[in-house]
Amino acid sequence: MSTMQDIEEIEKKLLSRVSTTNTPRDVLRSPDLKQLYGAIKSIPNEQRSAYGKRINDLKLSLESSISKREADLDNAAVESIDVTAPWDINSVQVNLLPTNLGSQHPLTVEIENVADIFTRMGFEAIESRQIDDDYHMFGSLNFPENHPARDGYDTFRTEEGFIAPAHTSTMQNRILKAGKAKLESGGQIGVVALGRCFRNEDLDATHEHTFYQFEGVFVSKDANLGQMLGTLRSFFECYYGQRLKIKTQPAYFPFVEPGLEFAIEKPTTLGGKPGEWLEMLGCGMIHPNVLLAAGIDPKKYRGFAWGGGIERLVMLKYGIEDIRYFESGKLQFLRKFA
Ligand code: DAH
């Protein structure tokens, strides 16, 4: 017959096994545990409920240390991959995260959030391309050949001359061409393109070689800067869920005239001080040459455009200090958003 003391000893033994094994959940199938359950029927009536409760407590404490051990193993596995080892060795060693513990990447969630806000404002949301060419990266955007402004967009090229886009503005010419017929039949073009960009950067807390942007393009007969500022203000106030102060200052981008940088005052609820401005994106009235490159008559139509980084939006929203977390795949970071 099992006694309370037996339970105590078995508990110690099983807990210690949980803390050392790589398959802690197997401990729940241990014969010791079965034996304790089996003994219930031979316990005298008046002691049975206390005994049952004790076994239940044991089960609960096992469950909780098993979950903790599993989490530790996942984290350890992430830290300890030998990247030089062949895949099959790593895939044996690594404790792959069970799907029920997985979650969406915070950027995925926020990209959908940004797309949602603009969709509700009447924009169409599309995904930007991840491989492109010189014409879409520069030529169609009014960058003259050999112009020094090209140097600000140092990215990766294949030997065949394809380009990993350094901004989502590569989508402008396509958006304009696709919307031309709609425009000419009395409608407007309103599209936001979201997607991955690449730059040949020296990495630090605010620079990453791979990042995301959202690009807006709006064209109509009489689009103007006031509409653009209203659109951007609405977006940012919706995204951060509060009234915001905004300001702009002149900036140079070959594809807009005038070109502006758009800043918001860092909200005090997000750790900002009054007078602390954060530049969020570049924007302006679409340059006539960009409209012409898509076959749109700049005498009849006007447009505005903007492009900004999504990581910056998200870092401010959650107080994330280092942009490199996003591409790191670190579970300790990802779990904060699960
Ligand atoms: N493409 C620019 C960049 O990544 C940002 C930008 C500026 C986009 C002005 C625009 C714009 O559409 O009008 O640096």
**Model confidence pLDDT, tens digit, residues 121-177:** 999 999 999 999 999 999 999 999 988 889 889 889 999 999 999 999 999 999 999
The answer, yes or no, to whether any atom of ligand 1 lies below 6 A from the CB of 307, is yes
Mean of the pLDDT values across residues 66-91?
72
Q: Which atom of ligand 1 is nearest to the CA of 172?
A: 12
Residue 128: which of 155, 94, 166, 91 has the closest Cα? Answer: 166
Q: In what order do the strands lie in the sheet with 256-265?
A: 124-127, 189-198, 210-220, 302-309, 277-286, 256-265, 246-250
CA-proximal residue: ligand 1, atom 8 (nearest): 307
Q: What separation, in Å, do the N-terminal and C-terminal C-alpha atoms of the chain show? A: 46
Please give the distance, rounded to the nearest whole angstrom, from the Cα atom of residue 324 to the centre of ligand 1: 22
The answer, yes or no, to whether any atom of ligand 1 lies below 6 A from the CB of 236, is no
d(CA 252, CA 84): 45
Q: Identify the three-state secondary structure at position 172.
A: helix
Res 80: pLDDT: 60
User: Token digits for 3?
Assistant: 């006694």
Check whether the bond before 258 is cis (ω within 30° of 0): yes
d(CA 92, CA 107): 29
Q: Which atom of ligand 1 is nearest to the CA of 152?
A: 14
Residue at 262: amino acid letter: F
Res 99: pLDDT: 77
Provide the mean pLDDT of the chain. Answer: 92
Please give the distance, rounded to the nearest whole angstrom, from the Cα atom of residue 253 to the centre of ligand 1: 7
- Neighbouring CB atoms inside 10 A of 37's CB total 12
The total number of residues shown for the chain amounts to 338
Tell whether pTM > 0.85: no
| Residue spans of alpha helices (H) in the chain | 4-20, 31-38, 45-79, 87-93, 106-120, 134-137, 172-184, 225-240, 288-293, 310-318, 325-328, 331-334
Res 330: pLDDT: 86
Mean of the pLDDT values across residues 215-237?
98
C-alpha angle 205-281-274 in degrees, rounded to nearest 5? 75
